[in-house]
């Protein structure tokens, strides 16, 4: 991926490094937005695949929302980009506005309404808009007005295309010394205050938006040792506490936030047993509005830049779920832990990097989406972005050429959309 000035961007999934901030004032909700509520999808509308019916029969509103999403797409490496300018925008940024600088500093162009319309036209039902706030806050965690307005503009692009939109706080968590939000039991009271301050501002700004705007608590939260798995019980408990702070903060702002659908995350957004065992769904003042979010890509050798090019789990006949295969195993586990207990799930990041293996990636994407759909789970492809001369030179999970507004790999997009339908 291209780099701009002092930005160090890693072109791989969602583990970009983070931290920083700036000053300005906080703003309130947009009084003019009146998004229409989503249509309710009936259980009978969910097809049976190979005789395997949907793995749950719940009719709770949050399940309807997840089913209606179909398949989703991530606006990756864009509003989540950071420059590690701790607690202040770099004084060297004189050639453009800070908003434009940050949005483009990891190699992507400024997001346009046409970009989002292309995603909608392709058949995606939802867009996740990762947002990092670290470089846009002062030392008191007050968010710059201009940054919230730019986030809002992109949110409107999504909602105007009648898609669901998810926003979160993204590289405010993660690997490294600079993310301010960690699963740190020894510093938990301070972290709770900071997280509450940030979400009160975001929630107040978007308080009057309709049900198609969804908030996600945070991205891949790690402990102070940056462990992706095998953390300690105190750190897992800290994640549960922080998810509760998020829910309480959003609900306290009233308006449509009193009933808004919210996504809460496991430790590291993990599907591993220790993280799932330790996870506790937050208490909520309204029923059936919480969704669990995780990330799962699949076999590392296939999805990342390693030797495996073919995907051995691909079934051309889309056979029923079986034990022992990585994708199915993870999805069946999520079904047993959550869906069968009345808790809906989304996989907010999945994908596979290009190795000149488009046909296999399309099989992987279709099989992943249709298997998840059997359990009522919606999946979101992580699109890294960045520009390439052609599809052959794409070396990441990028699907959309955002400058040319066309798909590098329409086969993969079509496979996912067909599977979701």
Confidence of residue 2 (pLDDT cuts 50, 70, 90): very low
In this structure, what token pair is assigned to residue 409? 């790999």
DSSP state letter for 52: B
Please give the angle made by the CA atoms of 360, 363 and 365, to the nearest 5 degrees. Answer: 110
* Coil/strand/helix, residue 245: helix
Note whether 84 and 18 are within 8 A (CB). Answer: yes
Q: What tens digit of pLDDT does each residue of 61-112 get?
A: 999 999 999 999 999 999 999 987 766 677 677 767 889 999 999 999 999 9
pLDDT of residue 91: 66
| Residue 356 lies inside a defined structural domain of this protein | yes
Q: Which domain holds residue 289?
A: 43-420
Tell me the pairing of strands 213-216 and 164-168.
parallel
Token representation of residue 119 = 């995603």
Query: What pLDDT is attached to residue 45?
Result: 31
What is the per-residue DSSP string for 165-194?
A: EEEE--TTSSSSS--S----GGGHHHHHHH
Position 399 in a domain: yes
How, if at all, do strands 400-401 and 406-407 pair?
antiparallel
Rounded CA-CA distance 161/176 in Å is: 37
Dihedral (Cα; 89, 93, 96, 100), 10-degree rounding: -40
Degrees to nearest 5, angle at CA 215 with 132 and 345: 115
Instruction: Say how far apart CA 382 and CA 29 lie, in whole Å.
Output: 29
Query: Residue 397's pLDDT band (boundaries 50, 70, 90)?
Result: very high
How far are the Cα atoms of 21, 73, 267, 358 from residue 247, in angstroms, in the given order? Answer: 24, 24, 16, 40
347-368 pLDDT tens trace: 999 999 999 999 999 999 999 9
Any idea what DSSP says for residue 376? Answer: T
Tens digit of pLDDT for each residue in 155-166?
Answer: 999 999 999 999
Q: Does 15 reside within a domain?
A: no
Confidence at 302, pLDDT banded by 50, 70, 90: confident
pLDDT of residue 181: 97
Query: What does the DSSP 8-state code read for residue 39?
Result: P
Q: Is residue 16 in a domain? A: no
pLDDT at 59: 59
Band of residue 313 on the pLDDT scale cut at 50, 70, 90 = low
With a pLDDT cut of 70, the percent of the chain lying above it is 81
Instruction: Kindly provide the residue ranges of all beta strands, DSSP E only, lying in 99-240, ordered along the sequence.
Output: 126-129, 164-168, 213-216
Residue 237 neighbours by CB under 8 Å, 6+ apart: 185, 278
Q: Could you tell me the two tokens for 50?
A: 């190979």
**87 is written with which tokens?**
């607690």
Our count of domains for the chain comes to: 1
Residue 404's Cβ-count burial label (10 Å; 0-12, 13-18, 19+) is exposed
Q: Is the pLDDT of residue 416 over 60?
A: yes
232-271 residues labelled b (16+ CB within 10 A) or e (exposed): eeebbbbbbbbbbbbbbbbbebeebbeebbbbbbbbbbbb
**Which residue's structure tokens are 């600079």?**
178
User: Hunting for tokens 């702002």 — which residue is that?
Assistant: 253
Backbone dihedral angles phi then psi of residue 223, each to the nearest 5 degrees: -80, 180
Q: Which residue has the higher pLDDT, 82 or 312?
A: 82
358 occurs within a structural domain: yes
Residues in the chain, how many? 421
Residue 17 lies in a domain: no
Whether 144 and 151 have beta carbons less than 8 Å apart is answered as: no
Per-residue model confidence (pLDDT) at position 118: 98
Angle formed by the axes of helices 145-160 and 188-205, to 10°?
60
Q: Which residues are catalytic?
A: 220, 349
Count CB-CB contacts under 10 A for residue 4.
15
Query: Residue 5: its pLDDT value, please?
Result: 32
- Which CATH number fits the domain that encloses residue 51? 3.20.20.80
Q: Report strand pairing: 290-295 vs 345-350.
A: parallel
Contact yes or no for 352/45 (Cβ under 8 A): no
- Provide the pLDDT for residue 325: 65
Residue 203 counted as domain residue: yes
Mean pLDDT to the nearest integer, 188-206: 98
Within a domain: residue 4?
no
| pTM for this entry | 0.85
Contact 334, 55 (CB under 8 A): no
Distance CA 169, CA 250 (A): 13
């Amino acid at each position: 991926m291209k780099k701009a000035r002092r930005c160090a961007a890693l072109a791989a999934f969602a583990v970009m490094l983070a931290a920083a901030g700036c000053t300005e004032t906080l703003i309130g909700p947009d009084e003019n937005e009146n998004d229409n509520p989503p249509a309710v999808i009936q259980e009978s509308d969910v097809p049976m695949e190979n005789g395997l019916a949907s793995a749950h029969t719940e009719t709770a509103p949050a399940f309807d929302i997840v089913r209606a999403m179909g398949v989703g797409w991530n606006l990756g490496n864009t509003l989540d980009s950071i420059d590690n300018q701790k607690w202040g925008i770099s004084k060297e940024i004189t050639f453009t506005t800070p908003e434009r600088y940050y949005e483009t500093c990891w190699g992507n162009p400024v997001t346009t309404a046409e970009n989002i319309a292309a995603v909608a036209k392709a058949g995606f039902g939802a867009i996740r808009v990762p947002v990092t706030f670290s470089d846009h806050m002062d030392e008191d965690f007050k968010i710059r007005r201009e940054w919230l307005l730019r986030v809002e503009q992109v949110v409107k692009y999504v909602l105007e295309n009648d898609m669901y939109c998810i926003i979160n706080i993204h590289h405010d968590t993660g690997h490294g010394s600079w993310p301010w939000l960690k699963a740190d039991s020894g510093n938990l009271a301070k972290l709770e205050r900071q997280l509450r301050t940030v979400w009160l501002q975001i929630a107040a700004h978007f308080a009057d938006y309709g049900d198609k705007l969804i908030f996600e608590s945070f991205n891949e939260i790690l402990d102070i040792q940056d462990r992706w798995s095998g953390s300690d019980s105190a750190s897992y408990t800290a994640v549960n506490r922080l998810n509760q702070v998020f829910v309480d903060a959003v609900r306290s702002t009233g308006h449509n936030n009193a009933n808004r659908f919210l996504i809460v995350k496991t430790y590291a957004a993990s599907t591993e047993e220790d993280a799932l065992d330790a996870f506790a769904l937050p208490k909520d003042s309204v029923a059936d509005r919480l969704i669990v979010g995780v990330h799962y890509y699949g076999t590392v050798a296939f999805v990342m830049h390693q030797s495996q090019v073919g995907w051995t789990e691909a079934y051309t006949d889309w056979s029923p779920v079986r034990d022992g295969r990585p994708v199915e195993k993870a999805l069946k586990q999520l079904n047993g832990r959550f869906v069968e207990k009345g808790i809906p799930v989304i996989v907010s990041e999945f994908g596979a990097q290009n190795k000149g293996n488009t046909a296999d990636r399309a099989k992987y994407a279709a099989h992943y989406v249709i298997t998840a759909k059997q359990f009522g789970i919606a999946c979101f492809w992580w699109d890294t972005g960045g520009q390439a001369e052609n599809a052959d030179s794409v070396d990441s999970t990028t699907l959309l050429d955002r400058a040319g507004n066309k798909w590098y790999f329409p086969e993969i997009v079509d496979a996912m959309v067909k599977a979701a339908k």
